[in-house]
Every structure is written in structure tokens, then in C-alpha cells.
Amino acid sequence: MDKKKVVAPLVCHGHSRPVVDLFYSPITPDGFFLVSASKDSTPMLRNGETGDWIGTFQGHKGAVWSCCLDKHALRTASASADFSAKLWDALTGDELHSFEHKHIVRACAFSEDTQLLLTGGIEKVLRIFDLNRLDAPPREVENSPGSVRTLAWLHSDQTILSTCTDMGGVRLWDVRTGKIFRTLETKSSVTSAEVSQDGRYITTADGSTVKFWDANHFGLVKSYNMPCIVESASLEPTYGNKFVAGGEDMWVRVFDFHTGAEVGEFLYSFHYQNFCTTSFSALISWTWDFYFLRIFLFFFSMSPLFNFPLDYIFVV
């Protein structure tokens, strides 16, 4: 591999139980931030560039399965096994509101305009909460065909994306009608799904396959077979020319988006449990089913955070 540079990872300790979800904020005037969800019931906020701990959100009484920041990084949301989703002040750590559910909440997502919070979980119900009227009842979208695993907004908050824990496919919902209007078919249940930063692609991982879908016309753009069952995949946000995938063999691999060729790999020799999640930002971070996460520097040519060109930096 040409022009490869290896640097040490930033190891972020703090969680006392497995980390199961990560979310990077966009770049804000104050920098960018990383929030992590853990089975220890306490989401944590960190500086996205250095990994330095900023604060812990305390109040959940069960595992936290999902977390997110709004686009200004001013509020955090979390979804928990304690049958609630919570809204937090990201500056003070104060709990702003608790949205009660009837079963485990597995996913949450802020709308692009930051006015709405979407939740879903074991109940198979998608709920939309108005963050300007915290005590108002949520709008309930038509029942999901299975337990909800992941959620995302598309098309200026006109479309909702959802996946299920117990069946394949990515479902696309019309927010106005509350109905599913398209299903992106997969052979296995989708373990991760994300919308690219530029809104062009939906990246999914199912079984041993990573797929890229056109986020506007919903056709399959690319499909690449991986060497093992893949738990998570993420597309580099600035140029979209590489993606990362991590799976059950404990290798994290970097691929060329256009050809599918592997351009880097690094092994976790730990014998801990399952690899869980990958997430790109200006940096890339991933974790597995253990107590801490690692942030890996992975900058691309002419990164907006640096004024010098280099191909990429990753860590073993």
C-alpha cells in the first residue's frame, strides 16, 4: 500500500459495560463531538477530535441502545431498555424531557431541522415527538413489520428510513402519509444503515454484504461481498471514495468505494465478544462489544480540518 501512515489510536475509557452505538455531530463553530451509547445506562459526550471526555448523561435505568446529537450539537437524545427515550442539554448535561414508551426503545434520530425526534423499538411503532411541545402526545406512524433496529431521516425530513432486528430489508416511509412506500430488499437483516453526508447514498450492512443505494431513486448502486459477516459499514463523508466495514472476524477493513478493492485492514486481536459499530466523521471511530472505544485518525486528501494533502491515515 502506497503512502500509508500508521499512528496510535485514541483510546477512550469510561464506560463500564459494552459500547453499542456511536454518533458524530457535524462540524460546529465549537468543533465536533462524539456521543456513545452503552449497556451501562450512561451515554457519554466527548470531543470528536481528541476523544476527551466532556460529560456523562445520567438518568436512564437500563441499557442505552442508541444515541444522537442534533446538528448544532446542543441537544442529545438517547433510546433505552428502560422503556424511555430522553432528551438532554448537551451543554449542561441536564435531562430536558423523558419520552415514555411501552417497551424497549432501540433507536432515535433528530430531524434535520432539529424540531422533531423519531423513536422506535420493540413495540414496532415509529413515534415522532415535537420538541417544541415536549408534553404533547407523539404522532405514531403505521406499525413497523418488525422490531425497529435503526432509524434515519431523508429528503429534508419528508422520508424516514427504518430497519428491523428480525427481518431483512430497509423500509422507506412517507412522513406525510405515515405509510411505507418502498422497501430495499436484502437477504439478511440489516445490522447497520446510514445516509451519506451529502444525501446521495444509503449504506447498509447485511450478512456478509455491504450495499450502497441511491438515496433519491432507491436503486442499488453497488454491492460488495465481504470476507465475513459484517456488523457495520460507513462511507467516508467528505469525498465518498472509501468506506470502512467491521465484522465478526475482528478485522476492520477499508475499501475503495468505486471498485470494492481492499485498501487497508487492521486486526483486533482481542478475544472479546462481537464487533458492534463503525462511524465516520472528519475522523473515523469504531468499537465492539466491550467497555471502551477507539478513535482512529483517517483523514483524506485535502481534509477540511488540515491544510496539507495526504492519502489516508489509519491505525492497527
Which whole-number Å values give the CA distances from 156 to 149, 199, 255, in the listed order? 22, 10, 29
Note the pLDDT of residue 169.
98
Tally of structural domains, the chain: 2
Tell me which residue range forms the domain holding 73. 19-141
Instruction: Quote the pTM value.
Output: 0.86
The β-bridge relationship of strands 4-6 and 312-314 is parallel
The CA R_g of the chain, rounded to the nearest whole Å, is: 18
Q: What angle do CA 235, 251, 309 make, to 5 degrees?
A: 45
CB 25 within 8 A of CB 69: yes
Residue 7 has pLDDT above 70, yes or no: no
Instruction: Calculate the average pLDDT of the chain.
Output: 84
Specify whether 109 is located in the same domain as 23: yes
CB 294 within 8 A of CB 285: yes
Strands of the sheet containing 75-80, edge to edge, are 64-69, 75-80, 84-89, 95-100
Is residue 8 assigned to a domain? Answer: yes
Note the pLDDT of residue 237.
81
CA 252/CA 245 separation, integer angstroms: 6
Specify whether 262 is located in the same domain as 281: yes
Specify whether 42 is located in the same domain as 7: no
Domain boundary, last residue among 104, 124, 141 = 141
Is residue 202 assigned to a domain? Answer: no
Specify whether 11 is located in the same domain as 68: no
Which whole-number Å values give the CA distances from 197 to 50, 68, 164, 246, in the listed order? 22, 15, 23, 20
Domain boundary, last residue among 112, 141, 170 = 141
Residue type at 30 in one-letter notation: D
Domain boundary, last residue among 99, 115, 141 = 141
Q: Which residues contact 228 (CB under 8 A, 6 or more apart)?
A: 208, 247, 248, 249, 251
Residue type at 37 in one-letter notation: A
Centre a 10 Å sphere on the Cβ of residue 166 and count the other Cβ atoms it contains. Answer: 10
Specify whether 42 is located in the same domain as 86: yes
Note the pLDDT of residue 16.
85
Specify whether 89 is located in the same domain as 55: yes
Is residue 155 assigned to a domain? Answer: no
Residue 5 has pLDDT above 70, yes or no: no
Dihedrals φ, ψ of 12, to 5°? -110, 100
Specify whether 137 is located in the same domain as 23: yes
Specify whether 5 is located in the same domain as 23: no
In this structure, what CATH number is given to the domain that contains residue 35? 2.130.10.10
Is residue 291 assigned to a domain? Answer: yes
Residue 302 has pLDDT above 90, yes or no: no
Centre a 10 Å sphere on the Cβ of residue 11 and count the other Cβ atoms it contains. Answer: 10
Is residue 52 assigned to a domain? Answer: yes
Specify whether 67 is located in the same domain as 116: yes
Specify whether 78 is located in the same domain as 3: no
Specify whether 83 is located in the same domain as 1: no
> Which is more confidently placed, 254 or 84?
84
Residue 153 has pLDDT above 70, yes or no: yes
Nearest residue to 68 via CA among 105, 100, 40, 103: 105
